[in-house]
Amino acid sequence: MRAPPKSYAHDEEYLILVDVDCESSGIAFEGIDAADGLVARILHVRPSVEPGETVAVGDSLGPMVRSGFFAPWVANHVHVGFRRAEQNLHRAGGSLPVDTAVDVEPLAWDGRGTVVETGDTYALLDAPAHPDPGESFVGIAGVLGEKREPIALDGGLTHYADGGALRQGCGAARAASASVSFLGHHVGDASGRTVAWRDVDVLANGARITGISLFAALDPEFGAKLVCPDREFQIGERVEVSIRESDDPIRLG
């Protein structure tokens, strides 16, 4: 399909559909009979395979593609989802919910750091640092509910419409409804794994920026990524991030 034209990206996007062999792959969904068929959907890969080919774990499907659907501060990645064979396999929404056995450890951060990398639309800080690079997934911590349970936050704070709440041991925060705090400020309300952001601004050294790109990763140089297309930071600059209430929060989608 055609992707939105962006100077930094390809103008085409691709969707690869793979008929899943549930028995050999071990992939299973509660309430779904493998005999009814299960299909994996892979996005952001230019296919080097053809319809009718058989692929196994470890086989290449093709090179990753950075298309115009990517925000400029988002690193290359692949989307993988699963659907029943009788579902509409091409439309954007409708994939089955997936839980993995991967723990995500919330990583405490006081909002301070030094700029170690900059791009046209972002600045990367040296904090928080990954405590055990390559051994566990970590994400910047928020606090969930009255019991103040540490969780890892996901998504764009608060320039995306919603965020995510991940916790160690089960992959997702499952409270029916709970407040989410970050850097001592009430930033959203969680329902299951989804966080509806409140009307707040993200500040860097007292001035508003677009937001923070939150994610879970194994990278040794983890750090907070500031989304700041209208603001320049210098390598070595000290930054303190804070949150405030807003009458006009930035929302990009």
pLDDT at residue 168 in the model: 61
Q: Are 82 and 42 in contact (CB under 8 A)?
A: no
Strand 104-107 to 137-144 pairing: parallel
pLDDT at residue 173 in the model: 52
pLDDT at residue 28 in the model: 81
- Distances in whole angstroms, Cα of residue 252 to Cα of each of 59, 81, 159, 181, 215: 36, 24, 5, 21, 17
Lowest mean pLDDT among 68-77, 155-164, 242-251: 68-77
Question: b/e for 173-206, b at 16 or more Cβ within 10 A?
Answer: bebeebbbbbbeeebbebeebbbebbebbbbbee
Q: Bridge partners of 197?
A: 188
pLDDT at residue 136 in the model: 87
Lowest mean pLDDT among 30-34, 165-169, 174-178, 233-237: 174-178
Residue-wise pLDDT tens digits, 129-182: 999 888 889 999 999 998 899 999 999 999 998 999 987 655 555 555 899 999
Q: Is the pLDDT confidence value at 41 over 90? A: yes
pLDDT category of residue 65 using cuts at 50, 70 and 90: very high
Q: Which two tokens stand for residue 82?
A: 């699963």
Q: Which segment, 76-80, 89-93, 111-115, is predicted with the most confidence on average? A: 111-115
- Report the alpha-carbon distance of residue 14 to residue 185 in Å, rounded: 40
Task: Specify burial of residue 91 (Cβ count, 10 A radius: 0-12, 13-18, 19+).
Answer: exposed
Strand 149-157 to 211-214 pairing: antiparallel
Nearest to 157 by CA among 165, 169, 149: 165
Nearest to 111 by CA among 142, 73, 133: 142
pLDDT at residue 204 in the model: 98
Residue-wise pLDDT tens digits, 198-222: 999 999 999 999 999 999 999 888 9
